[in-house]
Chain A
Amino acid sequence: MMTLERGYRRRRWLNRLMLALCGGAAGLAIIVLALILGYTLAHGISALSLDFLTQAARPVGEAGGGMRNEIIGTFILVLLGSALALPVGLMAGIFLAEFASPRVAAAVQFAADILAGVPSIVVGVFAYAILVRPMHSYSALSAGVALAIIMMPVVARTAEESLRLVPISMREAALALGITRWRSVVGVVVPGALTGIITGIMLAIARIAGETAPLIFTALGNNFSFQGILKPITALPLQIYRYAMSPYPEQNQQAWAGAFLLILLVLGISILVRWISGRKQV
Chain B
Amino acid sequence: MEGKQNMVKEQREDTGGSCGWEKTTDYREGEKGILEVQDVSAWYSGTLAIKHISMSIPAQAITAIIGPSGCGKSTFIRCLNRMHEVSHGGRVEGCILLDGRDIYARDIDPVAIRRRIGMVFQKPTPFPTMSIFDNVAAGLRLTRLWSRRWELEEVVERSLRQAALWDEVKDKLNQSGASLSGGQQQRLCIARALAVEPEIILLDEPCSALDPAATLKIEDLMRNLAEHYTLVIVTHNMQQAARVSDMAAFFLADSDRAGMLVECGKTSQLFTNPRDKRTEDYITGRFG
A binds B: yes
Interface residues of A (CB under 8 A from B): 169-180, 183-184, 187-188, 191-192, 194, 282
Q: Give the Cβ gap from B98 to chain A, nearest Cβ, in Å.
A: 13
- Which chain B residue shows the least CB distance to A178? B115
A175-B86, A176-B193 in contact; A170/B138 too (CB < 8 A)?
Answer: no
The 10 closest A-B pairs by CB, nearest first: A178-B115, A176-B119, A177-B139, A173-B125, A191-B129, A178-B114, A187-B142, A179-B142, A183-B142, A169-B125
- Which chain B residue shows the least CB distance to A101? B88
Could you tell me which residues of chain B, from 251 to 287, have a CB within 8 Å of some CB in chain A? Answer: none
The answer to whether A192 and B196 touch across the interface, beta carbons within 8 angstroms, is: no
From B118, B129, B130, B139, name the one whose CB has the most chain A CB atoms within 10 angstroms. Answer: B129
The answer to whether B119 and A192 touch across the interface, beta carbons within 8 angstroms, is: no
Could you tell me which residues of chain B, from 107 to 157, have a CB within 8 Å of some CB in chain A? Answer: 111-116, 118-119, 121, 123, 125, 127-130, 138-139, 141-143
Q: Which residues of A contact B139 (CB under 8 A)?
A: 177-179
How far is A73 from B114 in the complex, measured between Cα atoms in Å?
52
Q: Which residues of A contact B129 (CB under 8 A)?
A: 188, 191-192, 194, 282
The answer to whether A177 and B193 touch across the interface, beta carbons within 8 angstroms, is: yes
Is B83 interfacial (CB 8 A cutoff)? yes
The answer to whether B189 and A180 touch across the interface, beta carbons within 8 angstroms, is: no
Is B75 interfacial (CB 8 A cutoff)? no
Q: Which residues of B contact A187 (CB under 8 A)?
A: 138, 141-142
How far is A225 from B128 in the complex, measured between Cα atoms in Å?
47
- Which chain A residue shows the least CB distance to B140? A177
5 contacts between A and B (CB under 8 A): A169-B123, A176-B114, A179-B138, A187-B142, A191-B129
The answer to whether A183 and B143 touch across the interface, beta carbons within 8 angstroms, is: yes
The answer to whether A172 and B142 touch across the interface, beta carbons within 8 angstroms, is: no
Is B192 interfacial (CB 8 A cutoff)? yes
- Chain B interface, number of residues (Cβ within 8 angstroms): 28
Interface residues of B (CB under 8 A from A): 81, 83, 86, 111-116, 118-119, 121, 123, 125, 127-130, 138-139, 141-143, 189, 192-193, 196, 198
Q: Give the Cβ gap from A227 to chain B, nearest Cβ, in Å.
A: 42
How far is A172 from B114 in the complex, measured between Cα atoms in Å?
11
- Which chain B residue shows the least CB distance to A169? B125
Q: Give the Cβ gap from B117 to chain A, nearest Cβ, in Å.
A: 9
A187-B138, A192-B128, A282-B128 in contact; A179/B123 too (CB < 8 A)?
Answer: no
The answer to whether A173 and B121 touch across the interface, beta carbons within 8 angstroms, is: yes
How far is A179 from B192 in the complex, measured between Cα atoms in Å?
12
The answer to whether A173 and B128 touch across the interface, beta carbons within 8 angstroms, is: no
How far is A171 from B118 in the complex, measured between Cα atoms in Å?
14
Q: Which residues of B contact A170 (CB under 8 A)?
A: 125, 127-128
Q: Which residues of B contact A191 (CB under 8 A)?
A: 127, 129-130
The answer to whether B143 and A179 touch across the interface, beta carbons within 8 angstroms, is: yes
**A169, A171, A173, A177: the one within 8 Å of B196 (CB):** A177
Q: Which residues of A contact B196 (CB under 8 A)?
A: 177-178
From A170, A172, A178, A192, name the one whose CB has the most chain B CB atoms within 10 angstroms. Answer: A178
The answer to whether A173 and B114 touch across the interface, beta carbons within 8 angstroms, is: no
- Which chain A residue shows the least CB distance to B127? A188
Q: Give the Cβ gap from B17 to chain A, nearest Cβ, in Å.
A: 30
Q: Give the Cβ gap from B135 to chain A, nearest Cβ, in Å.
A: 10
